Amino acid sequence: MKISELARLAGSNAETIRYYEREGLLPKASRSESNYRIYTAAHLERLIFIKHCRNLDMTLGEIRTLLRFKASPEENCGEVNRLLDEHIEHVVRRIGELQELERQLRDLRECCPDGRQAAACGILEGLSQPSLEKTPGNHVPGVHASFANNINKS
Amino acid sequence: MKISELARLAGSNAETIRYYEREGLLPKASRSESNYRIYTAAHLERLIFIKHCRNLDMTLGEIRTLLRFKASPEENCGEVNRLLDEHIEHVVRRIGELQELERQLRDLRECCPDGRQAAACGILEGLSQPSLEKTPGNHVPGVHASFANNINKS
DNA sequence: TTAAAACCCTTGAGTCGCTAAAAGGTCAAG
DNA sequence: CTTGACCTTTTAGCGACTCAAGGGTTTTAA
């Protein structure tokens, strides 16, 4: 099959597939006489695997690791477990951060009943105040640009 | 004051400050004879405002909007409220998504007791399965690359 | 048969919010 | 007078795509 059919079957998109090939996540496809990429069921299977991992918000690096373990079945899967445990930990930490963030945003929103002028806006005032302390933590990202977006668009 | 003092006072960093100037979030600083940027208390205040907003994970675009409203106090702050409401909604949606994600990851982790070979790894098997449905939603991002990082490093 | 539409290719640039490196100029202390 | 800390600009890198330009090919329909 050609690239757009593969994309359709995997619920993905052609540019992303070419990108994965460049990144070494998908093996290079064979080519037709006219230099079109030709894919097999094995490619589809692998692409779906990658998609599942992305739906679980894994990085391409993590997915590469998983693919290596899939390719060498003699190895112990403790590494796979470890990777997943770490990933779960990131997600849990991020949830905590976002809950704290939500609390702060709602506090801020309370400051300003509707219909005031910006000069008297409690929100702008609140954001100028030297409070709003930092929270600790590392690795696990933002609120915009989304996992949800990825899922919808693919 | 010079750029590194401003950075120190705001708990920010010099490169970020230059970046904000390029992006039009901070007004251009005046220059010394030797072409060094010279800042005033007003710059510091504005930078702190921006930092608070970033701590709340707002995009630079959203912050630009808030700064516009700060600059024109005659306008009604309904827009500010709306922006914040939307932002809260993003955060709430993202929390829900991550909770669902955590559930899926834990399910997956259950599949594979430690010490198996990759050939029999329930996780790799699980990721190959055609289940793992999409969830709806848009705008609000990933698990890696983090808000927490931003906060710590700045 | 032919012309338009739909597909394919590569390369390069853009997204976001920084961060860092390279290569140089300025300034204060020892 | 040299060392080192600071400042400047320009440029490229991160992750995971996404899109546009500028071409070639294949399919469809008039």
Rounded average pLDDT over B79-102: 85
What Å distances lie between residue B28 and A20, B54, B105, CA to CA?
A: 42, 20, 47
Q: Mind listing the domains of chain A with CATH numbers?
A: 3-70 (1.10.1660.10), 84-153 (no CATH)
At B149 the pLDDT is: 38
At B33 the pLDDT is: 95
Name, in order, each residue with C-beta under 8 angstroms of A153's C-beta and a sequence gap of 6 or more. A13
Residue-wise pLDDT for A86-111, tens only, equals 888 888 888 888 888 888 788 878 87
- ipTM confidence: 0.71
Name, in order, each residue with C-beta under 8 angstroms of A105's C-beta and a sequence gap of 6 or more. B56, B84, B87, B88, B91
At B154 the pLDDT is: 33
| pTM of the full structure | 0.75
For residue B58, give the amino acid letter.
M
Classify residue B29 by its DSSP letter.
Answer: P
Give the distance, in angstroms, between residue A49 CA and nucleotide C17 C1': 31
At B101 the pLDDT is: 81
Nearest-CA residue of chain A relative to B94? A143
Contacts of A60 in chain B (CB under 8 A): none
Give the distance, in angstroms, between residue A13 CA and nucleotide C8 C1': 14
Residue-wise pLDDT for B93-136, tens only, equals 888 888 888 887 888 788 777 666 666 677 777 777 655 444 43
Residue-wise pLDDT for B14-52, tens only, equals 999 999 999 999 999 999 999 999 999 999 999 999 998
Pick from B77, B106, B123: which is nearest to A121 by CB? Answer: B77
Residue-wise pLDDT for A131-142, tens only, equals 545 443 334 455
Contacts of A132 in chain B (CB under 8 A): 52, 55-56
At B151 the pLDDT is: 35
At A152 the pLDDT is: 35
The answer on pLDDT for B62 being more than 80 is yes
| Protein residue minimizing CA–C1' distance to C6 | A4
Any idea which nucleotide's C1' is nearest the CA of B19? C18
At A72 the pLDDT is: 75
Give the distance, in angstroms, between residue B153 CA and nucleotide D7 C1': 22
> Tokens 């990131």, residue?
A90
> Which residues are B76's β-sheet partners?
A117
Half-sphere exposure (CA, 13 Å, Cβ side) for A108? 27
Higher pLDDT, A129 or B84: B84
Contacts of A98 in chain B (CB under 8 A): 91, 94-95, 98
Three-state DSSP class for residue A50: helix
Residue A4 beta carbon within 7 A of nucleic strand D? no
Query: A52, A46, A2: which is closest to A20 by C-alpha?
Result: A46
> Which residue pairs, CB below 8 angstroms and at least 24 apart, start in B102-108?
B102/A88, B102/A91, B102/A92, B102/A95, B104/A56, B104/B132, B105/A56, B105/A84, B105/A87, B105/A88, B105/A91, B106/A88, B108/A56, B108/A84
At A141 the pLDDT is: 55
Q: Are residues B76 and A116, on separate chains, in Cβ contact within 8 Å?
A: yes
At B21 the pLDDT is: 95
Q: Are residues B151 and A140, on separate chains, in Cβ contact within 8 Å?
A: no
Higher pLDDT, B86 or B75: B86
Q: Are residues B81 and A49, on separate chains, in Cβ contact within 8 Å?
A: no
| Window 126-145 of chain A: CB closer than 7 A to strand D | 145
At A41 the pLDDT is: 96
Pick from B48, B87, B149: which is nearest to A130 by CB? Answer: B48
Classify residue A145 by its DSSP letter.
Answer: S
pLDDT band at B12 (very low <50, low <70, confident <90, very high): very high
Helix (H) / strand (E) element for A85: namely helix A78-110
Higher pLDDT, B58 or A19: A19
Query: B71, B63, B55, B72: which is closest to B25 by C-alpha?
Result: B63
Whether residue A140 contacts residue B143, with contact meaning beta carbons closer than 8 Å, is answered with yes
Residue A147 beta carbon within 7 A of nucleic strand D? no
Q: Which nucleotides of D are covered by protein (CB under 7 A)?
A: 6-10, 15-20, 24-26
At B136 the pLDDT is: 34
Residue numbers in chain A where pLDDT is lower than 70:
73-76, 114-120, 130-154
Higher pLDDT, A99 or B2: B2
- Residues, chain B: 154
